[in-house]
Structures are given as C-alpha cells and as structure tokens.
Amino acid sequence: MENSVEALQTFGEAPDSFNAVFTDMCMPQMNGDVLSSRMKEIRPDIPIILCTGYSELFSEEKAREAGLAGYLQKPIYHKQMVETLRQALNCPK
C-alpha cells in the first residue's frame, strides 16, 4: 500500500479477507490510531497491532483502551512480531 487512505479503502472493500492488521503509528494522511479506529468501525473483531517508534505519541495502555490486539515498540524483532501476532489470533505455540 502507498498510504493509510489506500489501506483503509482496500480493507473496506473486503474486510473479511484479512486475518489481522499491522499498522505503523506515524504515516502520511492518517495516523495508525485513526486508521485502526476506522477499521474497527468496519469490522469490530479485526485484530490490529500498532507499531511505533514514538512511545510519547501512543502507549501500550492507549492501545489497550482503543481495543487493539497488540502494541509493538520499534525496533521490532521477528520473534516479538510473531509472538504478538500469535497472541492476537489466539493461536497456540
């Protein structure tokens, strides 16, 4: 995707084709918290994991309050990403 507006449009066209969403906090046109909120309006049960390098903009606590399935602070390591996705999808190890 080129930007968050395109991501929202693609998601809105076929929301059930997504198992989960990873999004960055700082993006052009629409930040990840707004994108997540709009995706949740379309499909409330979609697990969304927000990634950020700016903890002062959005915290893990705010992510929980927003109903997000996960929160990752950059730099993100592969194992951390996989484990967060596994938890969001409620998959056993």
pTM of the model: 0.92
Domains of the chain: 18-88 (3.40.50.2300)
The per-residue pLDDT for 93 is 64
Residue whose C-alpha is closest to residue 49's, from 82, 85, 15, 9:
85
pLDDT at 50 over 90: yes
User: Is the CB of residue 28 less than 8 Å from the CB of residue 22?
Assistant: no
The pLDDT value given to residue 55: 75
